[in-house]
Structure formats: structure tokens, C-alpha cells
Amino acid sequence: MIELRNLSIFYGETQVVKEVSLSIARGASFALVGESGSGKSTILKALAGQVTDWTGQIRLGDHSLEHGRDPALVRLCQMVFQDPFGSLHPRKSVDATLSEPLAIHRIGRQNERVLEAMDAVGLARKFRFRLPHQLSGGQRQRVAIARALMLNPPILLLDEPTSALDVSVQAEVLNLLKSLREDHGLTYFLVTHDLPVVSFLCDELGVLRNGELTEVTSVERLKQGNLQSEYGNELLSKSH
């Protein structure tokens, strides 16, 4: 579903991602882990079309990603951001946030679709006309997930989706992400530094260091505390 071939990404003169190749099957849940500055978020941004200075090939399903603005991209993959406080428009109600993608893409049945999406992410219908500041962190993240699902994309990009949340709320959002994937057959590409979250939500992981992929392995090996690369195990020993 997601295929990267010799992907290199540049910020001006600096090469931040070096010749990364990856292949993620349809319906899989893949995690990219690494320290800050390793380039993991940069890869996510390239997939989302936010970073355009890259070489190599990015394929999403049957579609080869173009440099620059690619209108096909938004129907293929959507992103959920880390900070539910910063990623929702403060003066748009839940209803406005969720209807906007439908209006842009001229999709009908807006009323029903908004309600369906709210039901799907477990957000009570009474919140429909609330503004973000009237919602809790967990509820906001539900809105962000619902928004990402409005266009029914097969791929979801998740950028540390729970690290800004309390552990009990994190559990709710992780459960939601897990059941959404099962119900809709979604493919997940998760970027995080929280290895236990990977253990719960994913089945494969890649370890990134200084822009280079040091290993790709099954989450089963992570659960057994036995990654292949030395660096992977070092990362494992540092998290508690």
C-alpha cells in the first residue's frame, strides 16, 4: 500500500533522510521509531505532501506521488497530528471542521456523513456544534481522527497521536484507532518514540537513525525485547 524506494529528503543543502526503502502491505500497521532529529517526521511530511524536495519514489496504492501539489493525495491519505490543541481551527465548530472536506470535494449527504463520522469515533452527537475549547483533549483528538476519515482514505498517517494525552485518555484513543483499523481495513503509518504504543497498535516497525533506516522488523521481536540492530536494542533499553 505504501512503497518508498531510495527516498532521500533535503532541507536546503542538508540531507535529512538517506536512501530509505520500505514496503508496507495493505491493511498493515507500520511504526517508524527513532530519536528526535532522526528524520521520522520528515518522512511522514513527504508522504503527506508537505515536503517536496525529495528524490526517489513514493507510491501510495497504485498512485505515484508527484512533487508539489498532488490533488489525488488527499483522497489517499490523511494525517492525525500530535497536538489536538494546535491542529483544530479554534473558531470552527466540530460540524464545520468535519463538513469542510466534504464541501471541498463536493460530496453529498453531508449531514448524515458528519453524524456517521462522529458515531464512528465515539463522539456524542451533542458535541456537534461545540468549539474546540469546549472539548477535552481526548475529544479533540477524536474530532481530528474523524476529520481524517471524512474522505474515506485507505491510509492514515499518525504523528505521535497520543503523546499529548493523559494515559487513561491515551488508552481510549489507542483502542479507537485499533478498532477503526479493523472495521475499515485501514493502513497505518505511525511515527512515535513511544515503544509500548508500537507494541499495542502495530505489527511491523522500522528504526531510523540519522536519516538512515537501521532495521525493519516485526513487532513480535520488540515484544520479546530482541531487536536485530544494536541501535534498536539501545533505544529499547533507554525506554522504560
Contacts with other proteins by CB under 8 A lie at 35-36, 137, 166-172, 174-175, 178, 193-197, 199-200, 222-225, 235-236, 238-240
Strand partners, 192: 33
CA 34 to each of CA 1, 53, 190: distance values in angstroms, whole numbers, following the listed order? 22, 22, 12
User: Least CB distance from residue 184 to other proteins, whole Å?
Assistant: 17
User: Least CB distance from residue 169 to other proteins, whole Å?
Assistant: 8
**Which is nearer to other proteins, 62 or 237 (by Cβ)?**
237
Contacts of 136 (CB under 8 A, 6+ apart): 169
Half-sphere CA count of 182, side-chain side, radius 13 A: 7
User: Least CB distance from residue 83 to other proteins, whole Å?
Assistant: 12
**Which is nearer to other proteins, 107 or 236 (by Cβ)?**
236
**Which is nearer to other proteins, 76 or 165 (by Cβ)?**
165
Dihedrals φ, ψ of 196, to 5°? Answer: -60, -35
**Which is nearer to other proteins, 162 or 187 (by Cβ)?**
162
**Which is nearer to other proteins, 76 or 169 (by Cβ)?**
169
**Which is nearer to other proteins, 14 or 168 (by Cβ)?**
168
User: Least CB distance from residue 88 to other proteins, whole Å?
Assistant: 17
User: Least CB distance from residue 15 to other proteins, whole Å?
Assistant: 20
User: Least CB distance from residue 171 to other proteins, whole Å?
Assistant: 4
User: Least CB distance from residue 136 to other proteins, whole Å?
Assistant: 9
Residue located via cell numbers 479554534: 90
**Which is nearer to other proteins, 107 or 200 (by Cβ)?**
200
